[in-house]
Structure 1
Amino acid sequence: MYKSLIRPVLFKFDPEAVHHFTFSMLKNFGFLTRIFFPEPIADKRLEREVFGLKFKNPVGLAAGFDKNAVLFNELADLGFGFVEIGTVTPKAQAGNPRKRLFRLIEDGGIINRMGFNNDGLEAAIGKLKGNKGKIIIGGNIGKNTDTAPENYTRDYLECFEGLHPYVDYFVLNVSCPNVGSHAKLEDVEYLRELITEVKKINQSKAVQKPVLLKIAPDLNDHQLDEIIGLIAETKIDGVIVSNTSVNKEGLKTPPEVLAEIGNGGLSGKPIRERSTRMIRYLSEKSNRAFPIIGVGGIHSAKDAIEKLDAGASLVQLYTGFIYEGPELINDINREVLKRASRLPR
């Protein structure tokens, strides 16, 4: 129903306007999802225990959709196994000027240059206090755009301290191409410093929360080897592969349209193979030494299984959720169950 009736209407309007409209509908009329969408699949065989947390199924929603922790209870009702809020920064910020979100329909992709627009740490905490305990929540944290380089770590630590009582795991977002000083955030020396400081705070808590690193899909093998070494050294709990890409080669969308759109991170089908290849490389080269959450170009159950087979423990949707709708969650979980039934007992 979503692809045949709802999406054609939504795609006639500006993507960011549709995003806000969808939020409003889910928040105020979420009970109607039972009319338009099938009941989420619930089955013990879908449960996954990863970095000490029990997920009711392996399909999550990536950061960037519920930036301000407004909709996680309603998203749980759609069938997600976990929802990642954010990216949250210490202070509220408007992000980059509009227009900043673009559909590449021919490619099944999206380009965004949102720029960490969010209502800030205190607003997120206020919303998280309304958590009904339906779902595992991840906290994706970052720095404010106007923060000086010497204070980047301070921003991450402030968000970590503030969100610690309210989220189940953390993601250090160091790979978004739409923020300033992107290069420093991906420098291994800086990452070592950042992870070390976050871990100090985490270890001071009565209950420690898993901490993950989110990386870009544009890293080469040498850089991936450095990430493997960094994880082994710092004992960080896992990695999310991957964020959006700055590489826009080989797209069906005409070059003049891409030039008109301008800068931004590419997500969706065009990065599927790159993301999966990175998952496989990290998993095999590290001998599956750490959990991986696979994200990037999942538009079908087959795409999700491909990432799980490559070495991911869990998967996340974003662009595929927008293009394919909530039915995709059940499609993936149904395929996971089919495969489980074929395994020797």
Structure 2
Amino acid sequence: MSMLDRIGQKLLFSFDPETAHGLSIAALRCGLPVASRAPHDARLEVRLCGLDFPNPLGMAAGYDKNAEVPDALLGLGFGFAEVGTITPLPQPGNPKPRIFRLTADEAVINRLGFNNEGHEAAERRLAARKGRGGIVGVNIGANKDSADRIGDYERGVARFAPYASYLTVNISSPNTPGLRNMQAREQLGELLSRVTAARAASSVQPPVFLKIAPDLVDAELEDVAAEVIEKKIEGVIVSNTTLARTGLRRTTAASESGGLSGRPLFERSTAVLARMRKLLGPEIAIIGVGGVDSAETALEKIRAGADLVQLYTGMIYAGPALPGRIVAGMVRVVEKERLKSIAALRDTRCQHWAAKSLS
């Protein structure tokens, strides 16, 4: 980290995590912080699901919940940004405090619960940026008290298909009771059938990705893969936060309930990613998420089977210059290894990661 980044982190860490998050969104709205422009290199370009990504690094959902600053995020060097999770109706989420820094582990536990301003507010912002360049995905979810959660996803598809570069169906947050049950095969099959039907009814039909949990066991991963293939979903995002607490240092925050993200998630999420690549085959897209905080970790996700990678928690600890540093690091690797495309790295360590235990 630069001295400026360290000063900025110290300032933000003097606030509680949720206040600090709000301040960072406000800064991006105002055109701050100013980060060095990430290098553009044709060897980092990825064509996937009909979309042309300038580089494979994206901002994960959860940061820009209300589609307030996607263009500012792209300006930090990300090749794409994903906004949301967005639910049909506004909801406040779970009681505060609900975000906890585990600084020694470079991790975060959150139990936010899909707090967001709802479809109408997000649609207004996304409609205002329509026609601008840049790949912006929209992550859709269900309201906590919805009587028809699958219907909420259908409404999300109908509402945001005209504005989204791609749509992400998020059924893997641990902070909405019962939501992860939708990953079970019967419910998942119905969900994906109705989501694809809703997309087919739209005048614009963006790719659909399914975001899964890292806590699934092998049999559950097999069921997910089978439904994704059968329902012709374009891709899978691996993964959301974990309920596991393996390897954390003993701190008060480590015992908080919620989903864990950051560095401790890297191993398991990457092993699950590799397993999904083997189950899905070479054609279906995979975005790797979990513990990405450097060019090395981002590239290892690609070697394990990812086409693209995303981060969020890593930027909390490394600052807004992180995307540019990662992209620059990727350029150095493709140069050193004399690669024509970064895609040449995909799957080169898939077998290694797929063989790792999930226990």
Name 2:275's counterpart in structure 1. 281
SS in 2 for 1:171: strand
Residue 300 (structure 1) aligned with residue 299 (structure 2): no
How big is the shift at 1:100?
Answer: 0.4
Larger displacement relative to structure 2 (67-76 or 204-213): 204-213
Q: Which amino acid aligns with 1:199?
A: T
Aligned partners of 1:33 and 1:13: how far apart in 2?
A: 18
Structure 2 CA distance for partners of 1:48 and 1:344, relative to 1, 3 Å? closer
Name 2:140's counterpart in structure 1. 141
Q: Which amino acid aligns with 1:4?
A: R
Which residues of 2 match residues 154-193 of structure 1 at below 5 A? 154-193=151-190
TM-score where L is the length of structure 1: 0.93
Larger displacement relative to structure 2 (196-205 or 283-292): 283-292
How big is the shift at 1:205?
Answer: 3.0
Larger displacement relative to structure 2 (309-318 or 73-82): 73-82
> Do the aligned residues in 1 keep the contact of 2:76 with 2:320 (CA within 8 Å)?
yes
1:249 to 246, 250, 255: 246
Residue 97 (structure 1) aligned with residue 95 (structure 2): yes
Which residues of 2 match residues 95-244 of structure 1 at below 5 A? 95-131=93-129, 133-148=132-147, 151-244=148-241
Runs of 4+ in structure 1 over 6 Å off: none
SS in 1 for 2:93: coil
SS in 2 for 1:288: coil
How big is the shift at 1:339?
Answer: 3.0
Which residues of 2 match residues 40-59 of structure 1 at below 5 A? 40-59=38-57
> Do the aligned residues in 1 keep the contact of 2:78 with 2:323 (CA within 8 Å)?
yes
Which residues of 2 match residues 18-29 of structure 1 at below 5 A? 18-28=20-30
Aligned partners of 1:48 and 1:325: how far apart in 2?
A: 25
Q: Identity over aligned residues, as a percent?
A: 43
Aligned partners of 2:110 and 2:80: how far apart in 1?
A: 23
Name 2:254's counterpart in structure 1. 258
Deviations 1:175-195 (Å, cap 9, x if unpaired)?
000002134322111111011
Q: Which amino acid aligns with 1:84?
A: E
> Do the aligned residues in 2 keep the contact of 1:283 with 1:289 (CA within 8 Å)?
no
How big is the shift at 1:198?
Answer: 1.1
> Do the aligned residues in 2 keep the contact of 1:140 with 1:170 (CA within 8 Å)?
yes
Aligned partners of 1:326 and 1:107: how far apart in 2?
A: 19
SS in 1 for 2:33: helix
SS in 1 for 2:58: strand
How big is the shift at 1:344?
Answer: 5.5
Aligned partners of 2:243 and 2:157: how far apart in 1?
A: 28
Q: Which amino acid aligns with 2:268?
A: R
Name 2:33's counterpart in structure 1. 33
> Do the aligned residues in 2 keep the contact of 1:300 with 1:332 (CA within 8 Å)?
yes
1:73 to 71, 74, 78: 71
Aligned partners of 1:165 and 1:88: how far apart in 2?
A: 15
Q: Which amino acid aligns with 1:33?
A: P
2:12 to 10, 13, 23: 10
Aligned residues: 336
How big is the shift at 1:243?
Answer: 0.1
How big is the shift at 1:270?
Answer: 0.8
SS in 2 for 1:129: helix
SS in 1 for 2:237: strand
TM-score where L is the length of structure 2: 0.90
- RMSD (CA atoms): 1.5
SS in 2 for 1:33: coil
Q: Which amino acid aligns with 1:187?
A: A
Larger displacement relative to structure 2 (124-133 or 136-145): 124-133
Deviations 1:147-200 (Å, cap 9, x if unpaired)?
12xx11111111111111111100100000000213432211111101111111
SS in 2 for 1:73: helix
Larger displacement relative to structure 2 (228-237 or 39-48): 39-48
Larger displacement relative to structure 2 (42-51 or 239-248): 42-51
> Do the aligned residues in 1 keep the contact of 2:184 with 2:220 (CA within 8 Å)?
no
Aligned partners of 2:180 and 2:202: how far apart in 1?
A: 31
Name 2:347's counterpart in structure 1. none
Q: Which amino acid aligns with 1:155?
A: D
Deviations 1:100-124 (Å, cap 9, x if unpaired)?
0110001110000000000000000
